[in-house]
Structure 1
Amino acid sequence: MFRSFEWMLAFRYLRLKGHEGFISVIAIFSLLGIILGVMALIATMSVMGGFREELLGKVIGFKGHLLYQPVGGKISDYERSVELLSSVQNVVHVDPIIEGQVMASFGDYATGAIVRGMRPEDLKERPLVADHIVAGSLDDFGTGDHDLAVGVRLAENYNLHVGSLVTLITPKGRVTPFGTVPRLSSYEIKAIFEVGEYNYDSGYFFMPLDQAQKYFKYGDTVQYLEITLTHPDLITETYPYIDQRLKATGHLGRLVDWRILNKSFFNALQIERNVMFIILTLIILVAVFNVISTMIMLVRSKNKDIAILRTMGASRASILRVFFITGSTIGVLGTFLGVWAGVSLAKNLQNISDLIEKLTGAKVWDAEIRFISEIPAIIDPGEVIAVTVVSLTLTFLATLYPAWRAAKTDPVEALRYE
């Protein structure tokens, strides 16, 4: 389709010198613009995709895929319910849970927190917590009468360590003639965990289920059941079987999956991701306009050359292909260099962030604000291909008009006064 002399002319026009060298300078800036636009788009989308996956993994790994909440707020025969639901296909774990808000006091300091009562054996089967114990051990969790596992951020903020005592205060206390007296009880820290999500690491405590039943006055009941599946995407497939099993045995309540519990949060992330894709694509579009300007200037400067080529027998289609190759070369080269730079940047973002923090002393990634302790980046091949296609498409379209103008050049008019 493209002839050898067309390629030769196109590459010669990219290496203009002398008084026409200014066009080459503009072409270089157009190339840099495309590189930066593609790089920024890939790196940003990788971070936002990684951010979503990390948060999704933390939320699901910490709280399970499905919640069964009974009518009345208490399940008395929870052991039977656990056994019943564990036999459903795709169900990995069913954990009885008690959860309540408390005021945690340590010395002169106090903060609000959420206590999650779980059986020690169930907690050990939660990889997100069990595999991220930074101090102490879950082997000791539940061996005493007053045990706690706390997050690393809370431990750092209040200088807590394994063996420290924490006083928990709940407003659901003992009723007296003078009103309700808040219930106080001291617990010993047996383990410190770090799951990598700031809210969990700073505001959640784990307590053995039997101790939580005593502290929150649940007796032999639990608050709800957390159901974990082999994969979160199996919710739609498994939900009807779990619901049917519960109704068949007379359990009244409702099932809530992770998509409903975190719907607004993850929808907001997806909308933000889509908006960022559109905004950063505009950077590529600006660079593409520079390509158009470069090509129009090139066509005007080579007006006489085009006329001579036409008189020598070159067709309009041949002239169009010459300038199409010239403009497309800038776009193709800029796109693939941008893809390489974007992927390299996404793979090394954390190292770059650490280097900037070391050199400047400023905090680039604050876990307290962004919830996750490290910069997440997941390179999605599909997104990389989409960015590449968008960039190449815009560049090819931008090249068509100047190339068409060049092909429409009338050799008689161009050489009339020569």
Structure 2
Amino acid sequence: MKYSVELLIGFRYLVAKNRDGFVSFISFISVLGIIIGVWALITVLSVMNGFEKELRERILTVASHVTITGNQRMLVNWPDIADQVKDVEGVLGIAPFINSQAMLANGNITAGALIQGITPVLEKTVSNIFDSLIEGNEQSLNRERWQIILGSDLAEKLNLKVTDKVTVITPEANIGIAGMLPRLKQFTVSGIFELGMYEYDNTLAFINIDDAANLLQTQGTVNGLRISLTDVYTAPVINADLGRILGNDFRLSDWTHEHRNFFRALQVEKRVMFLILLLIVAVAAFNVISTLVMVVVDKKSDIAILRTLGLSSQSVISIFVVQGSLIGFIGTVVGGIVGVLTAINIDAIISTIEQIVGIEFFPKSIYVISDFPSDLRWRDVSLILATSFSFSLLATLYPAWRASKTQPAEVLRYA
């Protein structure tokens, strides 16, 4: 019964108007500030999670989950290694590769590139690179010799399109009567891919692994094996398991290690953005303090009367904690609901705004990721809601303590 009285009075103080209505207005602003802060936090973090997920998927389109290479040498007995690896639980596919730096030339136009020799059939088991083809197809890598697939930026730089010829010049040289001559071969462009990541679209090119072996004179050997997994997040564990199975004669790495700096930077940006947007909630919490302090001043006579009727200092504290907690609870819940709905429908919301104002925020001609990917994570939502409510609860302590120190005799003497 005691707590029901405190709840009732705290709720009445929240909704009741004071003499000039100013305190009620400040209460509304406090609730609105918390709503905006929680809404912004959930929406922005969900969009950042969405971009991180989208970039991860694009990276894994071409990057292997686990890579096995030799220690400063080519892999000679790679079929035997592949037989050992395929029996490991969690391994989905294995594909050999040969890679080399090269210079591509189209007339007087030249550009550096990373040439990767692949077996198209096996490559499909470890990457989705061929799903990113915007021109041509990968079938010609199997059917015809000396075919090449280029990244979109690389093809544009060299002014090439499908069926055009391009000369591949490797750093290795042939020694002949005329001295050392670079190895070069003319290839036909059979496809162009676009991943939306500059480091790949601007430098990467694929050829058949047999053509790569002939060009680089590495017949019977490969640079390494690319491995795909049923669960990409088990890569570090399986990488360690393969290390124990294969021994120290090989170098193993997984995608989390190769791209750790990139994803670490994304995490830092996410944390910084969280802290910046949390300031909105913090400002709203200060508004809660201001609101309750003004309520204490406005209700000083009421507090004095309640004290004379036997209400304890602890009960007075509870009344104002209830009022501040209700402000925080309402703002947090409403902000959470609006934030979740916005995060789920952000792409449709942005599209509607673009249609209304007639402006495309992320033109497809400039930005590869032209939509707003969103990945709502309930762990983030729970953290935001808990933090917001905690701020609001802490904001009630000083005003509540100040109210409990009200002296009934002093107040009623001058009432």
> Do both proteins adopt the same fold according to a TM-score greater than 0.5, normalized to the shorter chain?
yes
User: Is the contact between residue 196 and residue 373 of structure 1 (CA under 8 Å) also seen in structure 2?
Assistant: no
Q: Quick one: which of 286, 289, 294 aligns to 1:292?
A: 289
Deviation at 1:416, TM superposition (A): 0.7
Deviation at 1:29, TM superposition (A): 1.9
| SS in structure 2 of the partner of residue 393 of structure 1 | helix
Q: Does 1:338 align with 2:353?
A: no
Moved more, 209-218 or 327-336: 209-218
Q: Does 1:324 align with 2:289?
A: no
| SS in structure 2 of the partner of residue 96 of structure 1 | strand
Amino acid of the structure 2 residue aligned with 1:342: G
Deviation at 1:326, TM superposition (A): 1.7
| SS in structure 2 of the partner of residue 14 of structure 1 | helix
The aligned counterpart of 1:89 is 89
Amino acid of the structure 2 residue aligned with 1:326: Q
Change (3 A) 1:98 1:374: farther
User: Is the contact between residue 2 and residue 321 of structure 1 (CA under 8 Å) also seen in structure 2?
Assistant: no
Deviation at 1:346, TM superposition (A): 2.4
Amino acid of the structure 2 residue aligned with 1:102: A
Separation (CA, whole Å) in 2 of partners of 1:368 and 1:261: 28
Q: Using structure 1 for the length normalisation, give the TM-score.
A: 0.86
User: Is the contact between residue 37 and residue 283 of structure 1 (CA under 8 Å) also seen in structure 2?
Assistant: yes
The aligned counterpart of 2:34 is 34
| SS in structure 1 of the partner of residue 148 of structure 2 | strand
Separation (CA, whole Å) in 2 of partners of 1:172 and 1:2: 88
| SS in structure 2 of the partner of residue 141 of structure 1 | helix
User: Is the contact between residue 93 and residue 227 of structure 2 (CA under 8 Å) also seen in structure 1?
Assistant: yes
The aligned counterpart of 1:232 is 232
Separation (CA, whole Å) in 1 of partners of 2:2 and 2:97: 70
Change (3 A) 1:158 1:21: farther
The aligned counterpart of 2:211 is 211
Q: Using structure 2 for the length normalisation, give the TM-score.
A: 0.87
User: Is the contact between residue 98 and residue 118 of structure 1 (CA under 8 Å) also seen in structure 2?
Assistant: yes
Moved more, 81-90 or 92-101: 81-90
Deviation at 1:83, TM superposition (A): 2.3
Change (3 A) 1:160 1:10: farther
Deviation at 1:284, TM superposition (A): 1.3
Separation (CA, whole Å) in 1 of partners of 2:32 and 2:371: 30
The aligned counterpart of 1:44 is 44
Change (3 A) 1:18 1:381: closer
1:172-251 equivalences under 5 Å are 172-175=172-175, 180-247=180-247
Separation (CA, whole Å) in 2 of partners of 1:174 and 1:155: 28
User: Is the contact between residue 64 and residue 126 of structure 2 (CA under 8 Å) also seen in structure 1?
Assistant: no
Change (3 A) 1:331 1:294: same
Deviations 1:336-387, CA, capped at 9 Å, x for gaps: 2221232233233344555566646465489988x85644321111111011
| SS in structure 2 of the partner of residue 20 of structure 1 | coil
Moved more, 130-139 or 80-89: 130-139
Change (3 A) 1:170 1:258: same
Amino acid of the structure 2 residue aligned with 1:301: D
How many residues get paired?
414
User: Is the contact between residue 98 and residue 224 of structure 1 (CA under 8 Å) also seen in structure 2?
Assistant: yes
User: After TM superposition, where is structure 1 displaced by more than 6 Å over at least 4 residues in a row?
Assistant: 156-159, 365-369
Deviation at 1:178, TM superposition (A): 6.8
Separation (CA, whole Å) in 2 of partners of 1:15 and 1:143: 78
Separation (CA, whole Å) in 1 of partners of 2:158 and 2:350: 27
User: Is the contact between residue 64 and residue 127 of structure 2 (CA under 8 Å) also seen in structure 1?
Assistant: no
Separation (CA, whole Å) in 2 of partners of 1:182 and 1:2: 92
**Aligned Cα RMSD in Å?**
3.1
User: Is the contact between residue 169 and residue 183 of structure 1 (CA under 8 Å) also seen in structure 2?
Assistant: yes
Change (3 A) 1:80 1:376: same
| SS in structure 2 of the partner of residue 10 of structure 1 | helix
User: Is the contact between residue 73 and residue 224 of structure 1 (CA under 8 Å) also seen in structure 2?
Assistant: no
The aligned counterpart of 1:279 is 276
Separation (CA, whole Å) in 2 of partners of 1:82 and 1:367: 42
Moved more, 351-360 or 65-74: 351-360
User: Is the contact between residue 67 and residue 226 of structure 2 (CA under 8 Å) also seen in structure 1?
Assistant: yes
Deviations 1:218-259, CA, capped at 9 Å, x for gaps: 222111122222223334443354234324xxx823222223
Deviation at 1:307, TM superposition (A): 1.7
Deviation at 1:214, TM superposition (A): 1.9
The aligned counterpart of 2:101 is 101
User: Is the contact between residue 64 and residue 228 of structure 1 (CA under 8 Å) also seen in structure 2?
Assistant: yes
| SS in structure 1 of the partner of residue 128 of structure 2 | helix
Deviation at 1:388, TM superposition (A): 0.6
Deviations 1:152-191, CA, capped at 9 Å, x for gaps: 4555677754334333333334346776544443323333
Amino acid of the structure 2 residue aligned with 1:297: M
Structure 1's unaligned 5+ residue stretches are none
